[in-house]
Amino acid sequence: MSHEACPIGPRGGELTDIDMFARRLLLPLVPELITDPDLVLEPRYASRYADLVEAAASQHLGMMAELDQRTSFAERVASGKAAYVYLREYVPALSPDYWDWTDVLVDQLGDIPPGIEMTVIACVGLEFEQDTIYHNLKQYGHQTKDHTAFEVVLYLNAQGSDSASVQQTMAEIARFQNDYPSVNLRAIGPVLLPPDPKLSTIKKTAMDAVVTRWAQSQQADNPNYTIVSNDADAAYLHPEYLARYATEMAQHPETDIAVQTMDLDHKAFRQLGAEFLLGSRVRQSVERQMDTNSGLFYPEGGDTALRPAVYCALGGLMPELPYGEDYGLGKLLIHYRGGTHSLVKLAPCEVGIQTSARRPAYQYAQSIEASYNSRDNVEDNDAVHRVRYSELETILPLEARIALDISRILELFGGFGLPADHPIVPALFTYYGVELESTADGYVIHDASAYAQAYQRQFGGVV
C-alpha cells in the first residue's frame, strides 16, 4: 500500500498560512516528509512486534502448508464459499469444540437479512462502556449508505467484574436500537474462550461466526459482499465511511483489503490542549514510518474492510496475538500476493474513523508518552476505561508546555533508535507551524505563534 502525499499549501492566494497549518492538523501522518529509508526501529523496540509478527506469521503459514500445496491463494479467493470449506477443513481450530461454539454464534445471528451486502463487526467490552457505546453506535445512524444494505454485529465480551456496568451498557445498546430502528443491529456472544483471551482471539471468533453465516447464505455468491472490522470505540465515522468501502469493493474486484485513515478522537485534542495534539502528530508520523521501514506492514489500525473469501483464503485471523490483528493480515497478504497492490487506502487525505483516545489521554495526564503500553497493568487499565478527557488546567504558557513535550518525544524517539539531531524532528514541527532552533543543549522553540493560531482556529481549544 502506498501512502499518498496530501500536500496542503496556499492555492491561488486563497489560503493564509494559518489556514494551511490548521488543515494540516486534521491528518495524523505526514509521509511526504519521511524520506529516510534507514529510519528503522532500534532492535530492542522493534522486537516487541516485528519478531512476534514474524513468528506468528511463520507458525500460521506452517499450518497453511498442506492447503497451499492443494490450492493457491488466488484460486481460493476466486472459489468463493469453497474458500470457507478449505478454512474449516485444513486450518487447525483453536480447540476441539471451537467450531461448535462458533456455530452457537451463527444461530444467535440468524439469517442474513434480505438486501444486506455489508456486515460491520465491532467487539464490545461491556464493562465501563456505558458512557460511550450509545454515541459510538450513533455514528452508524448517520451513514449515507442505505441502512437496508448493511448491518452491525456487536460481539459482547464481559469478564464479569462489574455486573452493574454491564447492565447499563446493555441498556444503552437497547436505547440505540429504539432511537435508530433503521440500523440493523445484532448482538451476539459471549461464548467460551481461553481464559483472559486477547483481542485478536475475540475478533477471530466474531469474524469466523460472520464468515460461517455468509458461507451458508445466498450472499456467498455475491463477490461484493464485504466484512468491515473496526473498534467499538469508534468515536466518529465519516458519513461516507461505509459507502466508500461498498463502492471500492463493487468497482475494483482486484482489491483484497481496503482501509481508511484512522485517527485519535479529535475531542481529546480540544480538551487536552495544543501540546497534546502536536505531540501526537509528530509521534504518529515518525513511529508509523519507523514501523513500516522495520517490516511491520499493517493496514491502518483496527479498521479493515475485506471480502470474506479473502479472509478464508488467508486462513482467518491468527489468535492470541499480543498485538493488533492488522499486523498479521498485512504480513499474510504480502506473503501471498507478493506486494501491497491489493490493499487500498481510501480517501487518504481525510480521516475516515476516529477511535477513542482514552488510553493516550490517561497516559498523557500521567505524564507518560502516548505510545507507552500499560495494557498488562490492571490498575492502569481500569483507570483508562474510566477517564473522560478531563480538561487539564495549567498556568504554563504554550511554548513552555510544548518544550516539555519535545523532551518527552525526543526521549521516546531515542528509545526507538532515532537520533535527537535527525532532520525529521525539526521538519515535522515546522510542518505544523512550530519553528525550532538547535542549540548545544538541544532544541529550543523559536516561534510557536502560527501553530497556536492554527490550533485555536481548527479545534477552538484554549492555548
387-396 residue pLDDT tens? 555 555 556 7
Q: What is the pLDDT of residues 164-198, one digit of tens each?
A: 888 898 999 999 999 999 999 999 987 766 666 77
CA distances 14 to 22, 178, 457, Å, are 14, 46, 16
**Using 50, 70 and 90 to split pLDDT, how confident is the model at 127?**
confident
Mean of all residue pLDDT scores within the chain: 82
- Between CA 80 and CA 82 the distance in angstroms is 5
> Residue 129 has what pLDDT?
80
Residue 211 has pLDDT above 90, yes or no: yes
| 41, containing H or E segment | none
Which percentage of the chain shows pLDDT scores above 90?
Answer: 36
- Can you give the pTM of this predicted structure? 0.88
Average pLDDT of the residues in 381-400: 60
> Residue 273 has what pLDDT?
83
C-alpha closest to that of 204 among 314, 67, 127: 314
- Between CA 122 and CA 202 the distance in angstroms is 10
Whose cell is 502525499? That residue is 5
Structural domains of the chain in order of their starting residue, each with its CATH number: 43-360 (3.90.550.10)
Average pLDDT of the residues in 266-282: 87
Residue scoring higher pLDDT (32 or 401): 401
141: CB partners within 8 A, 6+ apart? 176, 179, 180, 182, 183
Residue 369 has pLDDT above 60, yes or no: no
Sheet holding 234-237, edge to edge: 184-188, 150-157, 118-125, 226-231, 304-306, 257-264, 343-355, 234-237
